Amino acid sequence: MPQAVLSVGRLLERLEPAPSPEELRADLFLSKVEVERWEGDALTISCTPDRLDLLCESGLRAYLDGATGRSGGMPVVNEHSLPPGEFLEATERVTPLRPEVAAVLLHPPPGTALDEGMIAEAVHFQELLHATLGYDRRLASLGLYPGGSLRFPLRYDLESMAGLEFTPLGQDRPVPVEQFYAEHPMAQRYGAMGRQGDACLTLRDAHGTVLSLPPVLNSGAVGEIRAGDRRLLLEATGTRRARVEEAIALLALPFLLRGWSAAPVRVKAPDGVRSGEALLAPRRVELPAALIARLSGIDLPPEEVEGLLGRARFAFRRGAEEWLVAAPPWRNDLLGPVDVVEDLLLLRGVRIDEGYYPPSPTVGRRRPESRWRRQVGGWLLGLGFTPVHNSLLLPADHMARLGRTEAIDVANPTSAELSRLRDALQASLLASLGRNLRHGYPQRLSELGPVLRRDPEAESGARTESHLGFVLAGEGVGFSDAASLLEYLLRRCTVQGVREPATLPATIPGRAARLRIAGEVVGELGEIHPAVLEFLGLPVPVAWGELDLHALYPLLGGPTDSAPAEPRATAAPPGDGPTTEI
């Protein structure tokens, strides 16, 4: 879960009496926040990813005020409008790279200005949003600028780097942008998101001053906020409009909850003009009374529901059979009435005397097939194999080097390391050997787990199979070792397979085979090719074998999910007797 380190003094300022650590933990017990550590003024908390608003001092304080009854209802969001000439123009050139942009102007309450505490809270929260909601700036990135010297309209564009200069944040001299992209650490990390060939994204004001190079870095000359500033620009760019707008609303939260007012900036984009009013608009949800009872199993009186809505910091209006609920703009987790009910029940708590058993004549147990799979996996454990558990996702280059061309690609993978779905345990087991080069040999690894195979008839285009695989790595290991082990496993199942030569990925030609029972392929085995061993850095031969338990189980006479099969005379039925299947 995302973590944040908050200032206890800022969180609890002007709160009398201040709660003790035990009282604060009790107040947070019925929320999605957990206290990890409390050392002096540093409070480390973690929170579920859907409640990022609780990971800053102002957001958590607003929650605590409602949960403890010190305040109620939706926090006030002060808005003002901008003159027609104050807008932001996004050119068509940014569309292929980072098309979405949004902004608001922030003003402090009369007689106040930006202070060091507000700066620290905003900057820490900004970086947390980059890492979580922004997906390390890929989907959205945020910028804060002193607005006193800005001149509208602003311009978001893709410009040639030739002759362009920029003063990086933390420096006082401009450097050529080409040099910045070649040398600066932030450009090394994020530069690819903000440049295309010899052009890069820029944000300028009406004077032509470069405010930032999105999403890399603000200008040190005009893009650094300081204590005493009385006007701030908050902008976000990204690839998805929803993420950009959610990021704006969340980073505006610390300011809005401390009395700052906000003005959405109109955006003139190639696809039309956006007023920006949606950035600060309340999220509205219709909450049927019947839904609360259905989800909770409790008939809550209307007065209790309304009390909980106020404590959850919602505004509401009661209808005939529902409540019309309004939530602040930073509550991007509220996708429907179920989410509102969750908030109410978390605040109320569920007491033990309200629990009940579901109406069922039996208590569920594992299906016979599940128990049989675990039993077969235990046979390898008894032979000295170390069971491992690997992810379904593997790097594309790893699968390519193994020749597993039938593996399914992941659409929009989070990284290149998680871009292919394994179609056999072979790939994961060999990767495990590659990660254990420091250990002595022989090494014996096994895995019992799912794989995904292409299936045009399946709704998703793939079917899940359960496989049992193993690898042996050591001097003198070869094809015969894998063959004898698979034959042993089949004998334990009281069946015998027919072995036929085959050409299999990652194996030596002529030293690989398939196992069939009654014409069905139930296993594969082989000696791993030297080129694969070199790719993985393995210094010894490796033998591999794999059983398709999904295909093998029905051939043993075991009952399937669709219909029970009659046991064959030559096979002992797996499992340990009839039971309720789950």
Same domain, 325 and 372: no
d(C-alpha 31, C-alpha 346), whole Å: 6
Domain boundary among 40, 67, 94: 67
pLDDT for 569 equals 32
d(C-alpha 436, C-alpha 543), whole Å: 16
Helix (H, G, I), strand (E, B) or coil at 90: strand
pLDDT for 361 equals 61
Looking at residue 465, which CATH number applies to its domain?
3.30.930.10
Confirm whether 345 is domain-assigned. yes
- pLDDT confidence tier of residue 358, bands split at 50, 70 and 90: low
Same domain, 108 and 22: no
Same domain, 522 and 449: yes
Query: What is the rounded average pLDDT of the residues 371-375?
Result: 90
Q: Are 573 and 493 in contact (CB under 8 A)?
A: no
Query: What is the rounded average pLDDT of the residues 317-345?
Result: 93
pLDDT for 25 equals 85
Same domain, 401 and 520: yes
pLDDT for 287 equals 95
pLDDT of 30 > 50? The answer is: yes
Quote the number of domains for the chain.
4
d(C-alpha 483, C-alpha 479), whole Å: 6
Backbone CA torsion sign across 5, 9, 13, 15: positive
Phi first, then psi, for residue 522 (nearest 5°) are: -120, -5
Residue 366, C-beta contacts closer than 8 angstroms, at least 6 positions apart: 579, 582
Confirm whether 566 is domain-assigned. no
Predicted confidence (pLDDT) per residue in 418-463, tens digit: 889 999 999 999 999 999 988 889 999 999 999 999 988 888 888 9
Confirm whether 417 is domain-assigned. yes
- How many residues belong to the chain? 582
pLDDT for 580 equals 27
d(C-alpha 257, C-alpha 61), whole Å: 9
Q: What pTM does this model have? A: 0.64
Confirm whether 565 is domain-assigned. no
Predicted confidence (pLDDT) per residue in 161-178, tens digit: 999 999 999 998 999 999
d(C-alpha 357, C-alpha 297), whole Å: 12
pLDDT for 447 equals 95
Tokens found for residue 331: 């509550």
Same domain, 141 and 113: yes
Query: What is the rounded average pLDDT of the residues 215-241?
Result: 94
d(C-alpha 234, C-alpha 146), whole Å: 9
Percent of the residues in the chain that have a pLDDT greater than 90, as a whole number: 71
Same domain, 287 and 271: no
Helix (H, G, I), strand (E, B) or coil at 566: coil
Confirm whether 504 is domain-assigned. yes
pLDDT for 158 equals 97
Q: Is 351 exposed, middle or buried (0-12, 13-18, 19+ CB in 10 A)?
A: exposed
pLDDT for 579 equals 29
List the domain range (segments joined by +) for residue 443.
Answer: 368-555
Q: Are 547 and 468 in contact (CB under 8 A)?
A: yes
Same domain, 543 and 432: yes
What is the DSSP secondary structure assignment for residue 147, as one 8-state letter? -
Confirm whether 315 is domain-assigned. yes
Q: Give strand pairing partners of 149.
A: none
